[in-house]
Structure 1
Amino acid sequence: MDMDRSDKTPMYRYIMNDIKRKIEAGELNAHDPLPTQIDLAKEYNTSEITSRRALSDLVQEGYVYRIRGKGTFIQETAVSAGPKPIRTIFFAYQNHEVSDFNHPFFTDMFDGIKAACDEGGIAFHMWNIGEDYELPQDPSAGIILLTTMDSFDQSRLSVWLREKRRIVTVHFYYPHLGIPYVIVDNLTGGYLATQHLLSLGHRRIGVILTGNSILEINQEFSLRLQGYRLALSQRQIPFDSELVAIMSGDHERVSMGNDGFRRLMSLDNRPTAIFATSDYKAFGAMNAAKELGIKVPQEISIIGYDDVKISEYTYPTLSTVNQNTYKLGQRAAEILLYEMKDGENRLLKDEIVPTLVQRDSTGPAPV
């Protein structure tokens, strides 16, 4: 048989997907017989063990039924007007610059989505919904949706739910709408970064955030700040707003870290460590330290957040927090493919725990 499939797709899964495709295309109708497992193995040039696994799983999923002594047949409900299985997953976003997706938060996420899709023989593509909020025309496609908190029209989500679109959100979430979501646990990430500095003996720890004010920072940075405060409170260290440098801007920039570091270093009682809530800000803080003649980590420790590739090669190498977004993407795809059920109102959710990456930019507090 002339086959076009990913080498990573298990053969039994390929056989299942091909039979499902034939059902969707009308090539197989209700109660049509399927070849025996011997004939199926010959047709797909594989073993009988593999063809038997494919048929068994199709029975479990309700696509076929068996009659002892007669064979395997297409289930009537499999060709009904009901929802069809997902054959394509789209990562849907709104008007982001392509360069935004070079960040490891996204590249690792895409790798995770692709891995889950490859395992199931599912296609994966990106899709810009644009100003018209237009989703792919395929109503059975799975959608992994990235929104923005400040400009996204939430009423569109309700419309898509009424249309029974299969959607999982990542990064931002809307539990009041019952939409499944997968997020990174930013509170734990902020806690891990701060706790690492506390374990090194630091008690006066500055934090550099992005926002317009302490009341106007986005969801992810707000949670990282909460993690910072939680770690301090567990050591009975009072929160000092003087140690919070908030830098205005829509995108993370190295200059934010440079300016934030200088602001914190101008305090009469300077911090001995800084938690920069992105690696870009951490790079800026390290640049400023060098320009001011302050040694890292001997005189001040600096930790970032994101684990961008260059953090392995800075001098000194940057301690940071890896968000594990490969797992985030993988879980979002798995929820779409295996855990969502039509007509079910149960909210599916998952929080991915970040990992501390300790390198050379953090050290013991100066005596």
Structure 2
Amino acid sequence: MSVTLKEIAKKAQVSISTVSRVINNDTNKPASKETQDKVWKIVRELGYVPNQNARNLIKGQESIIENTNTRAIGCIFTSTKDTYNDPFFSQIARGIQDEVSKRGYILGYSFSSCDMSFSSLYNNLTSNPVDGAVILGRFSEDVLNFLKQNIKNIVYTGVNYVDAGFDEVICDGYKGAMAAVEYLISLNHREIGFIGSTKELENVVNEHRYEGYLDTMNKQEIPVKKEYIQDVELSTADGFTGMDNMIKRLGKDKLPTAIFCANDLVAIGAMKALHKNNIKVPEDISIIGLDDIELSEYVTPGLTTIKVPKVELGKFAVKMLIDKIENGHTLPVRVNVPFTIIERESCRAIN
């Protein structure tokens, strides 16, 4: 049985018109932030799917999840607000755009949902209806449920498994992290640190790169030292701050001999902090990243990293999404694309 605005209004203890204004982001007579949060919480709890525009809400016409055959595909960045500036995601987006055009579809929208209210997110989804969307980046359970309610066909792509009931195209960040740490161990490093995100995100997308680091250290019976771990966002600035904090806390003589950084932006920031403190890479400390963004080849020293085929992730995601749209496969499918180790100059063997 479908949920009505009246039921939402009753549970939220507000009027039906207030619910309608919240869902449609009516700026002429906006509800308070507290009321908006309450209404959207109930919308998600009850599984209500809003209709395509404000006039249709009370009439109960067709919801956007059923509005297909547009030959348009959306792209939603659900990671940090700096996703657009992250070369990892921009390369995936390039692959998406190339494949969308090749297949005779159009890119209906491309936006970041980070820090976006549910009313704004809904308006972004409804302003340009699409047949399906590619999701990039980590997301909370609330965002996951909202997207599933409002988009019929979804494919996720990235380096973390999501196991959210829809198709995934993955370059396994867990195994990539294991390969990075094993590479450092092969160079005789035993004091190995980690800089990157260590937190789970509301039990929806776990940070598998950190898990890969921990599991490899434990498998090789190498002690994991908490003082060698820095929990930071995956950006150059946070990589710099994390490394700088470690240096200030431990001093130059008590640093690990090698560090695995969760992505190349973090690694480049960490290398900048080491340079600032007159610590040489790789003579004093080895650094390895994960991504192989273009900049990694041009920093000094060149960054050793795990290469993720970013453009291919985007292309495979579109191929899988269009197959779902046109052929209607129902079982969630996961495609794994391989990674490779790119050896440059930021790591060295020790005795």
Bucket of the pairwise TM-score, normalised by the shorter protein: 0.5 to 0.7
Structure 1's 224 and 175: CA in aligned 2 closer, same or farther, altered over 3 A? closer
Q: Give, as a single letter, the amino acid of the residue that structure 1 aligns with 2:72.
A: T
Residue 48 of structure 2: aligned partner: none
Number of equivalences: 277
Residue 142 of structure 1: aligned partner: 132
1:276 has 2:261 as partner = yes
**Does 299-308 or 151-160 show the bigger shift?**
151-160
1:89 has 2:70 as partner = no
The offset of 1:197, in angstroms, is: 0.9
Q: Give, as a single letter, the amino acid of the residue that structure 2 aligns with 1:155.
A: N
Q: Give, as a single letter, the amino acid of the residue that structure 2 aligns with 1:124.
A: L
Please list the CA deviations of residues 280-329 of structure 1 after superposition, one character each: whole Å capped at 9, or x if unmatched.
33223223333333322122111123323222122111112232221211
1:206 counterpart SS class: strand
Structure 1's 292 and 284: CA in aligned 2 closer, same or farther, altered over 3 A? same
Is contact 1:256–1:281 with CA below 8 Å preserved after alignment? no
**Does 271-280 or 138-147 show the bigger shift?**
138-147
User: Aligned runs of 1:1-367 on 2, under 5 Å?
Assistant: 87-93=71-77, 100-128=83-111, 131=117, 132=119, 133-134=122-123, 135-136=125-126, 141-146=131-136, 148-150=138-140, 152-160=142-150, 165-171=152-158, 175-176=163-164, 178-210=165-197, 222-247=207-232, 252-253=236-237, 254-262=239-247, 265-266=250-251, 269-340=254-325, 344-365=329-350, 367=351
1:363 counterpart SS class: coil
Structure 1's 90 and 318: CA in aligned 2 closer, same or farther, altered over 3 A? same
The offset of 1:86, in angstroms, is: 5.9
Is contact 1:261–1:288 with CA below 8 Å preserved after alignment? no
Structure 1's 94 and 269: CA in aligned 2 closer, same or farther, altered over 3 A? closer
TM-score normalised to the size of structure 1?
Answer: 0.64
TM-score normalised to the size of structure 2?
Answer: 0.66
Is contact 1:323–1:353 with CA below 8 Å preserved after alignment? yes
Residue 38 of structure 2: aligned partner: none
> Over aligned residue pairs, what C-alpha RMSD do you find?
3.4
The offset of 1:346, in angstroms, is: 0.8
Please list the CA deviations of residues 140-165 of structure 1 after superposition, one character each: whole Å capped at 9, or x if unmatched.
5221134653484343234226xxx2
Structure 1's 354 and 136: CA in aligned 2 closer, same or farther, altered over 3 A? farther
1:207 counterpart SS class: strand
Counterpart CA distance in 2 for 1:306 and 1:250 is: 12
Identity over the aligned pairs, expressed in percent? 28
**Does 133-142 or 321-330 show the bigger shift?**
133-142
The offset of 1:224, in angstroms, is: 0.8
Residue 41 of structure 2: aligned partner: none
Is contact 1:127–1:136 with CA below 8 Å preserved after alignment? no
Is contact 2:303–2:345 with CA below 8 Å preserved after alignment? yes
Is contact 2:168–2:335 with CA below 8 Å preserved after alignment? yes
Please list the CA deviations of residues 201-259 of structure 1 after superposition, one character each: whole Å capped at 9, or x if unmatched.
11111111235xx6789977831112112332343323333322224x58552432432
